Amino acid sequence: MSLSWMAWTWPTAGFFIFIGCAITTMIVWEILSPGGNPRFGILRLNTTRGDRLFISLLASAFIHLSWLALLGAPIWGATIVSVALAFIIFRWV
């Protein structure tokens, strides 16, 4: 399958596939355990699982864009930083 119709690369397509899988996982999680139990974390906001997913995805996008602007390719380091930050966000925010 050629992704040249939109000038996409496989890492970009993989990132969007991951976002789709993350949202699907959150939907299944919400069906199995409704409510999400809002909690008051270090940001001093009440956040639900969906809020924490959105914050981590937004942070991941900024980390990857900053990585590309400052260091260029490859972006594996940005991915590792993003996964670590997502773990921190889901744990303490």
- Ranges of each domain in the chain: 4-92
pLDDT beneath 50: ranges in the chain: none
Q: What whole-number distance in Å separates Cα of residue 87 and Cα of residue 82?
A: 9
User: Measured at the alpha carbon of residue 63, what is the angle toward residues 58 and 64, in degrees to the nearest 5?
Assistant: 100
pLDDT at 84: 97
Q: Is the bond preceding residue 38 a cis peptide, omega within 30 degrees?
A: no
pLDDT at 40: 85
- The pTM (predicted TM-score) of the whole model is 0.76
